[in-house]
Amino acid sequence: MRIRIVDAFTDRPFSGNPAGVLLLESVAFPDAERLQEIATEVNLSETAFAHPLPPGGEADWALRWFTPATEVDMCGHATLATAHVLHTAGRATGTVRFTARCGILTSTAHPDGSLTLDFPTAPLREETAPPGLAEALGAKPVSVHDTGEHIGDLLVELRDEATVRALAPDFAALVAHSRRGIIATAAAEDPALGYDFVSRGFFPGVGIDEDPVTGSAHTALAPFWSARFGRDDLTGLQASARSGLVRTALRGGRTLLTGTAVTVIDGELLTAF
């Protein structure tokens, strides 16, 4: 079975966020235990598994995502990677519809090679910072928001971009503070550099200390910063070591995430399901 490693939310190899992608020819997914074993072996922040659905339904492909430790409800970068593989392999054109645990998602290809994902907007709810969060993160929050059931993160606003970039969290301590992880964010110091806000994502509870570029987090970052800036269309920089840009467009209950992707490894999975 063919397996690709795709760098998402970047236009060059060895940056952005790598994801494993396996397109299955079966009409159903294998046992979750087997999918988890493969994702653990691949050992990237997410491995995506997709199989085609019969024509005429509400979706074209069924899609699931696994970290090295667990299955998740929503993943942006591995969806972008899957859509990239479908288009570059000649398996799809135009808009592709996916059914996933978080509902129906779509990906639309553009002539410049970019892809736009249509995801549900995260419902933000402001909360008081839990005791110990500042110490675990290594910085004092300006505000804290819950991001709802499908993401399960705490969105933590920090003082400035420099504070976000300098974070060195206590990952073991962070596990206690959210269902999935922590999204740390601040306004860009200089928007002339091409981005409006910065973020970093820490998810030790699902086996990922720091995620290079987290598409799903931007369904929460988009409404948060759109309300602050008074604009629906923004660009976020995830300031990890690999780094990546996500263009966001808030459309009420939906958030559009636009980026590019590059296939860096195309190989064969030698074990059978």
Q: Which of 170, 182, 92, 192 lies closest to 146, judged by CA?
A: 182
71 is catalytic: no
Among the listed residues 46, 157, 161, 210, the single catalytic one is: 46
235 close to 246: Cβ distance less than 8 angstroms:
yes
Q: Which of 130, 135, 187, 191 lies closest to 163, judged by CA?
A: 187
Between CA 98 and CA 110 the distance in angstroms is 18
Phi first, then psi: give them for residue 214, nearest 5 degrees: -110, 100
Q: How many CB atoms lie within 10 A of CB 243?
A: 16
Phi first, then psi: give them for residue 85, nearest 5 degrees: -65, -45
Residues assigned a catalytic role: 46
